[in-house]
Structure 1
Amino acid sequence: MFFKQSSYPLNSAYIKACFKLSLLCIVFFPIATHATVLPPITKFDYLSIGKKVTFFEDKTAKLTLTQIQLADAQGKFESGKQSILNFGNTKSAFWIKVKYVPTKYVQNYFTVDAPNIENVDFYWFNSLGDSKTIYTGCFLKSVEGVHITNNFVFTLPVQEVSQENTIYLRVKTNNILMVPMKLSAVDKTMQGRIYKDSIEFVYIGILFALLLFNLFLFFSIRDVTYLHYTLYVFTLSAYLLLYIRGYSYLFGEDFRILSNHYPHVFLSLSVFFSLSFCMKFLTLRKLLPGFVKLYYVTAFAGLILLVVSLAGYKSIGSQIAQFLTISVALLVWASGIVAYFKGHKTAKYYVLAWAFIWVTVAIVTLTLANVLDSTEFTMQLIPIGSTLELLLLSFALGDRYKVIMQTEQSVRDENLMLVRTQNQRLEENVTLRTVQLSKTIKELEASNAIKNKLFSIIAHDLRSPLNSLISILSLNDMEALTIDELRVMLKDNKQSIETIYNTLNNLLYWAKDQMTAVTTEPQTLDLNALLAELMLIYQPLLEKKEIDCDIDQVEKCFAYADINQIRLVLRNMIDNAFKFTPRGEKITINLRYEDDAVAFEIANPVTDVSKVNANQLLGLNITEGTYGTENEKGVGLGLKLCKEYVETNKGIFQINLQGDLVIVSFKIPKSENLTSFVS
């Protein structure tokens, strides 16, 4: 890198020849050329001037200044569309032309406000033939005329007359090429630097505070999660400050050049430590083992970035870095969300932190794709966004520590509860007994209501059929009926008598259960014989109602249960199916073995299945007695008793609806003893 006056070969005669050549091109090619003409800059604030300059892409990266001036005269330069020029990741060189008219006797500076451009060639000349050439870049040391810190500041000659000056700037790098430029007077330069440095010092201070604080916490509580987080803060801060913001110059020019040769080493290390921190924080192996392999794959990609960066392939490393940044942010963000919904509530700040990084990455990606304008804000977005992400992750660690302390406090509170005084225990017992007494009172009130309902049943549902039977017998005593008439009338009242019998049976069993606890006397019983016994009773009734009964049963079907209770269950199930099956339809009965149980199932069609409420039929209270398809009356106790007795015999009782069929079924334990005790 060097500085020289009127050189290469910019002497007075050469400058004049270039101006004549440009003038001839403009005169003789007015139609073929469409030169982009921008007014010279006259305001020297510390602001980006990307929209006030023109540029040309040298795809060969081999063109000379003379060739560039000819291309400029031919109108091949384009005007800048953004405040900060964004040329992307390319191997091309770019020539930028800046015209300005300085104020007399005022010191001005031209600043390339980016620390990591490899080639920055500066050409300045004025109309009087004065010239200045400086070759610099992030791989070279400072020379006279340019001050290299975290940017490149070129000192412009002080003018004694107000005249137009021209700068040609050639930039090239094997990385993403963004060129923020500023042309400012000495006072504006100082003001702008102070404002920019004040912003950067804020997040630099936050980064150092997070680093030291969490390192202190690690040594205090010996939680390895804080160590991984501290290493992540250190490596990410090193990448942001040394390379992105260019503060490596503080450690000497040799270190600055070295860090620019291997820019993504710290980024790859930050990938490793971010993944290890997230695995520890989310307890990934225990909570989300499926994500562990994805973390290892991503870590391997970070290893590739480390190798590529150490090998000096900056362009390839830059592409891998962009992909890896997006991938890591997506992976750790997604795992945080899944962990949060799986009960890891301390992940809320963690999810917010990586969501913030996602927004940052999205804005930067859109900026690099030229969807959004490159501005001072987007240039500062990555370090500011990363700082806020680290701050939120620190909040997540704080929340995690708070949860740990709350858990310990909860354990202490539980231990304190164990040593409560006897008086407190007595108060709890009194409260418990009060609740039990209230429950008992409610049960008694319910029992009293049931008793009243039963009296209503006995008064109405049993008295009416009995009155009818007494009338028949009175007529017979008076010899008002012939034998045939008596036979017909008794046959017509047989169904009422059966109803009375079934109702009385249910009432007696229910009353017995109300007075004493339900007890069972299980024994081996033959369900085939028991079913046959009941079918002899119901077959005439089925024939009268023209109902077919299809019975599918296995032979020698033995169960182990209380015979009287199961007989009552079968009677009620058959009676219920008979009552609600329309005339001319069919009832299906199935008796079979299922593993270690005996299954009994009866299915019958109903007139309107939408009116059947299985939950209500199996409720705790006595339901209203319902009428069958031909006014057969029930008491409302049958299915309740069935459910109670089946469950008492260690079985399962169910009611299901299938199309227009009501399927009532139960399962009870089968017997290994094949001897029947059915009487």
Structure 2
Amino acid sequence: MSHSPLRLVFFCIVLLSGRYIYAQGQTPVIVLSEADQSVEILGRMEHLSDPKNELTLEVVKTKPFNSLHEKRAPSFGFDKATHWFKIKLHNQSSIQDWLVEIAYPPLDSIDLFYQDASGWHHKSGGDHYTMASREIKHRHVTFPLALSKEETVTLYLKIRSTSSMQVPISVWSREEFGNGQYRIQFMNGIFYGMMLIMIFYNLFLYFSIRDKTTLYYVFTLASGTNVIAFFQGYGFFYVYGDYIITEHLFTIISGPLFVICSAVLTRSFLNLKSFNPALDSILKANIIVTIGAVVIILLFPISFKALHVLTFLNCFLILICAIYCFYKKYRPARYFLLAWVALLLAAALFSLRNLGFIPANWLTDMALYIGGILQTLFISFALGDRINLLVKENQEAKEKELQLEHLAKEKLELEVKERTLEIQKKNEQLEELNEVKDKLFSVVAHDLKGPLNSLKGTLSILRMGALSKDEFNDLAKSLDTQLNQTTYFLENLLQWGRTQIQGELYSPQPIRLDELTKNTIDLLQGEIEQKNIQVSLLADENSAAFGVKNMILTVIRNLLSNAIKFTNAGGSVKCIIQPKENLWVVSVVDSGTGIPPKYLENIFSLKGISTLGTREEKGTGIGLVLCKEFVEQNGGKIWCESTLGKGTTFSFSLPKSN
């Protein structure tokens, strides 16, 4: 009993404070007075969660509600449940026109129920309703409420949202609401005006210097401003409030657009690809994951929690990148680091509040404001520092260019000497080409001499007329064969001429070396019989090589012709074809006069000496040059072994056919 007077005094103090009355076990009573015409409810209300989204007002009125922390606005993070709030207001003032403001625009659906003398009233709002449907045209959902003096009313709020469940509620007199909004709008106008000035200034700067990093910063500023406008309700109020589909689209893409733009800006500004390719790849991966998350949320109505997690992760990654480049002494990274420390800490506070990890307060509510202003300021410094650095680098580049020009002048004489040597070398090559040209007709005489001698001998026999009809027919057939072979040889020779002038397309194919060698022996049969030389062929039955047929035929013909020419009458020539690993080795072995050692070194060049055969046969010295050229073009090698007075062996290799 001794404490009763103290309790009465305490009750009177609370009553006179114009704030609220709270009886244990009952809903707190918020007292509205003329002295305080704006009341922030915070946690002075009761709460009921409906996880299955099935409770009606009639059922809710019978359910027990839970108390909340009095000094914190309700914050439940991303929760798909329907949340009911019970608020009791008592109007002590003569003011009858009041407004109930829910100052978190991203909430999807807000239903207000209350009862007065005329019965129950139901009002709806949220970003799933158009701006035109709102009684009070304001960026926040605001419901008008008429209260007589000394009237007490109980409000039931039903809130559902796929975004974060933040419920900051205030009750205003209409006059005080107008005054408060004037102050808030003035401050917001300064902020958004500054952001627009920075956007257009940097856009003008981009068109002046054409630096893509500046353009990325413009996109980052625009997307960041859009995020702040979205969470403050200005986007819904001015841009897309009359179109629910557009509002849903902006709700989904606003945060990801900032994530993508800021990541691209970071990669470009810090030149991450050069400093740390791994961090660069991680940022690119985060961009791709963010785009994937947007697509999934567009297709399926799920919580936006993943987007906030990706935003927080993006903040963390950019902070790491800035710290790393600052550690690597990249000068522009210092202001960039300060800019993103400010903004990313603000974004982290905001995201952590939305995720429900920390309570809502003035710092978390104003975090994006403060972070945006500081970020804009520091990145402007960073861009200025970067431009100064580019100017300095440009000056250094000009100085280096002057030094290089001086060095170029000093090197001019050396280049003239080198060009002179190059011209001399080309003159030597031209002389060699002229020598090849001069020998072209000699080649014709060299490679056609054997067949033509055979034809000449045949014609001499025909002139004698001492042939029977059968013998004449046999000679006619032989003559026809040699003419065809000679015509084919001329075509091959013309082909070689084209290789010397225009070059030849290398088109190898499988060829049978034994068949080519046998055909060549048949072509030279006349010379072989005249000198009574024994020519033998020792070859594998499956000697299939890979090369250009016409070239290899020319090589074999030249080597056999030379062997016959330098072999005495009654001597022997052997053609041996044998495998060696992945190659075929063709050897033409004669028992002729041999080659002096002093001539072997240049035997396959135009410096080689052409000598007469055993019957004074003339040559040009170009045949072996052709052999070397054709063999090497077909991927092989050619070589010669000779013993003076005993004979010579010419060999070449070719790849086996697969």
- In structure 2, the residue corresponding to 1:155 is in which secondary structure? strand
Aligned to 1:330: 316
Q: Is the 8 A contact 2:230 2:254 kept in 1?
A: no
CA distances 1:491-541 after superposition (whole Å, capped 9, x unpaired): xxxxxxxxxxxxxxxxxxxxxxxxxxxxxxxxxxxxxxxxxxxxxxxxxxx
Aligned to 1:56: 48
Aligned to 2:536: none
Aligned to 2:238: 250
Q: Is the 8 A contact 2:206 2:212 kept in 1?
A: yes
Q: Matches of residues 103-252 of structure 1 in structure 2 within 5 Å?
A: 103-126=93-116, 128-142=117-131, 146-159=135-148, 161-251=149-239
Decide which structure has the larger Cα Rg and report it. 2
Letter in 2 for 1:298: N
CA distances 1:616-649 after superposition (whole Å, capped 9, x unpaired): xxxxxxxxxxxxxxxxxxxxxxxxxxxxxxxxxx
Q: Distance in 1 between matches of 2:150 and 2:24?
A: 28
Q: Structure 1, unaligned stretches of length 5 or more?
A: 1-32, 419-679
Aligned to 2:374: 388
Are 1:70 and 2:62 counterparts? yes
Q: CA deviation at 1:262?
A: 4.6
Q: Against the structure 1 CA distance between its residues 241 and 365, is the aligned structure 2 distance closer, same or farther, given a 3 Å change threshold?
A: closer
Q: Distance in 2 between matches of 1:312 and 1:220?
A: 44
Q: Is the 8 A contact 1:146 1:155 kept in 2?
A: yes
Q: Is the 8 A contact 1:112 1:179 kept in 2?
A: yes
CA distances 1:474-496 after superposition (whole Å, capped 9, x unpaired): xxxxxxxxxxxxxxxxxxxxxxx
- In structure 2, the residue corresponding to 1:87 is in which secondary structure? coil
Letter in 2 for 1:219: F
Are 1:355 and 2:347 counterparts? no
CA distances 1:408-430 after superposition (whole Å, capped 9, x unpaired): 45567889999xxxxxxxxxxxx
- In structure 2, the residue corresponding to 1:88 is in which secondary structure? coil
Letter in 2 for 1:151: H
Q: Is the 8 A contact 2:29 2:90 kept in 1?
A: no
Q: Distance in 2 between matches of 1:377 and 1:262?
A: 25
Q: Is the 8 A contact 1:214 1:226 kept in 2?
A: yes
Q: Matches of residues 410-559 of structure 1 in structure 2 within 5 Å?
A: none
Letter in 2 for 1:310: L
Q: CA deviation at 1:201?
A: 2.0
CA distances 1:8-46 after superposition (whole Å, capped 9, x unpaired): xxxxxxxxxxxxxxxxxxxxxxxxx98343133224533
Are 1:290 and 2:278 counterparts? yes
Aligned to 1:367: 353
Q: Is the 8 A contact 2:111 2:122 kept in 1?
A: yes
Q: Against the structure 1 CA distance between its residues 254 and 352, is the aligned structure 2 distance closer, same or farther, given a 3 Å change threshold?
A: same
Letter in 2 for 1:363: L
Q: Distance in 1 between matches of 2:286 and 2:158?
A: 38
Aligned to 2:418: none
Q: CA deviation at 1:281?
A: 0.8
Aligned to 1:567: none
Q: Against the structure 1 CA distance between its residues 370 and 286, is the aligned structure 2 distance closer, same or farther, given a 3 Å change threshold?
A: closer
Q: Distance in 1 between matches of 2:402 and 2:249?
A: 63
Q: Against the structure 1 CA distance between its residues 144 and 368, is the aligned structure 2 distance closer, same or farther, given a 3 Å change threshold?
A: closer
Q: Against the structure 1 CA distance between its residues 195 and 144, is the aligned structure 2 distance closer, same or farther, given a 3 Å change threshold?
A: same
Q: Distance in 2 between matches of 1:238 and 1:309?
A: 19
Letter in 2 for 1:67: V
Q: Distance in 2 between matches of 1:64 and 1:218?
A: 57
Q: Matches of residues 304-323 of structure 1 in structure 2 within 5 Å?
A: 304-311=292-299, 313-315=301-303, 318-323=304-309
Q: Distance in 2 between matches of 1:184 and 1:344?
A: 52
Q: Against the structure 1 CA distance between its residues 51 and 221, is the aligned structure 2 distance closer, same or farther, given a 3 Å change threshold?
A: same
Q: Is the 8 A contact 1:36 1:78 kept in 2?
A: no
Q: Distance in 1 between matches of 2:62 and 2:27?
A: 15
Letter in 2 for 1:58: D
Q: Against the structure 1 CA distance between its residues 365 and 239, is the aligned structure 2 distance closer, same or farther, given a 3 Å change threshold?
A: closer
CA distances 1:584-610 after superposition (whole Å, capped 9, x unpaired): xxxxxxxxxxxxxxxxxxxxxxxxxxx
- In structure 2, the residue corresponding to 1:40 is in which secondary structure? strand
Q: Against the structure 1 CA distance between its residues 158 and 305, is the aligned structure 2 distance closer, same or farther, given a 3 Å change threshold?
A: same
TM-score, with normalisation over the residues of structure 1? 0.52
Q: CA deviation at 1:181?
A: 0.8
Q: Is the 8 A contact 2:114 2:153 kept in 1?
A: yes
Are 1:266 and 2:258 counterparts? no
Q: CA deviation at 1:330?
A: 1.6
Letter in 2 for 1:234: A
Q: Is the 8 A contact 2:95 2:173 kept in 1?
A: no
Letter in 1 for 2:342: F
Aligned to 2:68: 79
Q: Distance in 1 between matches of 2:342 and 2:42?
A: 29
- In structure 2, the residue corresponding to 1:56 is in which secondary structure? strand
Q: Against the structure 1 CA distance between its residues 129 and 77, is the aligned structure 2 distance closer, same or farther, given a 3 Å change threshold?
A: farther
Which sits farther off after the overlay, 322-331 or 363-372? Answer: 363-372
Match of 2:30 among 24, 34, 40: 40
Q: CA deviation at 1:252?
A: 5.1
Aligned to 1:98: 87
Q: Distance in 1 between matches of 2:95 and 2:153?
A: 14
Q: Give the length in aligned residue pairs.
A: 380
Match of 1:404 among 372, 387, 390: 390
Q: Distance in 2 between matches of 1:82 and 1:88?
A: 18
Q: CA deviation at 1:304?
A: 1.5
Q: Against the structure 1 CA distance between its residues 407 and 254, is the aligned structure 2 distance closer, same or farther, given a 3 Å change threshold?
A: same
Q: CA RMSD in A?
A: 2.9
Q: Is the 8 A contact 1:275 1:299 kept in 2?
A: yes
Q: CA deviation at 1:168?
A: 0.9
Q: Is the 8 A contact 1:175 1:314 kept in 2?
A: no
CA distances 1:625-677 after superposition (whole Å, capped 9, x unpaired): xxxxxxxxxxxxxxxxxxxxxxxxxxxxxxxxxxxxxxxxxxxxxxxxxxxxx
Q: Is the 8 A contact 1:40 1:99 kept in 2?
A: yes
Q: Distance in 1 between matches of 2:118 and 2:322?
A: 64
Q: Distance in 2 between matches of 1:56 and 1:405?
A: 63
Letter in 2 for 1:204: Y
Q: Distance in 2 between matches of 1:390 and 1:302?
A: 24
Q: CA deviation at 1:256?
A: 6.0
Q: CA deviation at 1:77?
A: 3.1
- In structure 2, the residue corresponding to 1:89 is in which secondary structure? coil
Q: Distance in 1 between matches of 2:287 and 2:133?
A: 45
Q: Against the structure 1 CA distance between its residues 153 and 214, is the aligned structure 2 distance closer, same or farther, given a 3 Å change threshold?
A: same
Q: Distance in 1 between matches of 2:65 and 2:255?
A: 39
Q: Distance in 1 between matches of 2:134 and 2:344?
A: 41
Aligned to 2:264: 276
Q: Distance in 2 between matches of 1:144 and 1:319?
A: 28
Q: Is the 8 A contact 1:117 1:177 kept in 2?
A: yes
Percent identity over the alignment is: 20
Which sits farther off after the overlay, 130-139 or 162-171? Answer: 130-139
- In structure 2, the residue corresponding to 1:175 is in which secondary structure? coil
Q: Is the 8 A contact 1:248 1:255 kept in 2?
A: no
Q: Against the structure 1 CA distance between its residues 411 and 346, is the aligned structure 2 distance closer, same or farther, given a 3 Å change threshold?
A: same
